[in-house]
Amino acid sequence: MKQKIAEEAARLLTEAGTVDYGWARRKATQRLGVSRERELPDMMMIETAFRNYQKLFRPQDISCVAVQHEAAAEMMSWLEPFSPHLAGPLARGISAPRADILIYVYADSPKELVFTLMEKQLVWESDDLLLDNQQPVQLFFVPHAGQQFRLLLLPLSSLRQPPVDEVTGRRDAGLNLKQLQNLVGNRPGDGVPATTPL
């Protein structure tokens, strides 16, 4: 049953063009009439099913990863003073056409980040958020170049203790700017074999 739910969630994600695994799992369990928690797949199982579903049925969607990597590299270059790291499924080479781009940024006050966004003439909205450890943080929603960015502002002390990734269940810093630029530069056609983050 877990595999069946994961496959249905993958289909829903592909149709919606997003990577909201929690939403897809809830929707899939409703459609399949499953309510017992022990029958639910974990997020990694859904991500694996989603990756496989895209390869089989929507290979054209996979091209959005390269586009979003390039957009993220541009945004992160502007945010370099804040030690930006690309996080979430996109850091593992998985995305969808309408998926948000999650970037961790580090500062002890939002003022400097706000000044940088203003300097780059970017518009944004922000919201308060509680991490799993009840740490209060701010999330900035920034549309740019046809993409929707989510900038998670973390205290400088979190550089060595990044948030727990909801898919892997582990603390994961994601990709820093140099790692992402190397990934973008190593695309097929550039004369260097492509690499994909695990």
CB 115 within 8 A of CB 127: no
d(CA 112, CA 179) in angstroms, rounded, equals 24
Q: Where are the domains of the chain?
A: 2-57, 63-185
pLDDT value at residue 134:
67
DSSP codes joined into one string, 115-141: HHHHHTT---EEEEEE-TT--EEEEEE
Domain 63-185 CATH (choose: 1.20.140.10, 3.30.460.10, 2.60.40.1170, 3.40.50.1100): 3.30.460.10
- Of the pLDDT bands very low, low, confident and very high (cuts 50, 70, 90), residue 190 is very low
Residue 101, number of CB atoms within 10 A of its CB: 23
Q: Is the pLDDT of residue 65 over 60?
A: yes
CB 65 within 8 A of CB 93: yes
Across the chain, how many H-helices and E-strands are there? 6, 6
pLDDT value at residue 187:
66
- Of the pLDDT bands very low, low, confident and very high (cuts 50, 70, 90), residue 133 is low
Residue 134, number of CB atoms within 10 A of its CB: 6
Instruction: Report pLDDT digits (tens) over 75-106.
Output: 999 999 999 999 999 999 999 999 999 999 99
pLDDT value at residue 194:
38
Q: pTM (2 decimals)? A: 0.88
| DSSP-assigned beta bridge partners for residue 198 | none
* Gyration radius of the chain over CA positions: 17
